[in-house]
Amino acid sequence: MGGFASLISIFLFIHVKLYSEAVLYFIYVILSYYGWHSWQTVEEESDSTVLDLPKKESDIIEWNWKEHLLVISIGIAVALIISFIFKMTDASRPVFDAFTTSFSLIATYMTVKKVLSNWVYWILIDFATVFLYLSRALEVYAAQMFLFAILAAWGFITWLKAYKKTVLSE
């Protein structure tokens, strides 16, 4: 269902000239199919939820400031490249749009790698995206991103408790 919603969103973002968001949601469609396909081969636990902890609490890691500095530098560079490309079009807010897209991809990578601070990135991105969507009169999408920011805060608290438990037991 998420892949289908992302597919529809691509057309909406093209219509409101948020081209970087359209590219991001295209990537989400691909990731949605990949995830669905991968999950078909793995038995799911009946009590799992979206914000479940990784299978082992010890799988949660945290990056040092150098690793954050590296990914933030990469995120800025990618955002500048994306914004340069879309500034040559009729894109609306190409720089802001490129930054939320670039850092969403980074946060997705961090989530896959089970980096605790992925949730902090998501909170910041989700709140920034609220303003991006409001600037294009996408109130429903803005409300959804606000809800995602709250869920990301919950995810951070949940993972932080597990991470502290693991670190204190070492």
What's the token pair of residue 1?
Answer: 């269902």
- The overall pTM is greater than 0.75: yes
CB 104 within 8 A of CB 125: yes
What's the rounded Cα separation, in Å, for the pair 126 and 148?
7
Query: Phi/psi at 32 (nearest 5 deg)?
Result: -65, -45
What's the token pair of residue 101?
Answer: 């897209």
What's the rounded Cα separation, in Å, for the pair 82 and 152?
26
CB 97 within 8 A of CB 18: yes
Alpha helices by DSSP H, listed for 16-138, are: 19-39, 65-87, 94-112, 118-135
* Span 43-101, pLDDT tens digits: 455 444 545 555 555 689 999 999 999 999 999 999 999 999 999 999 999 999 999 99
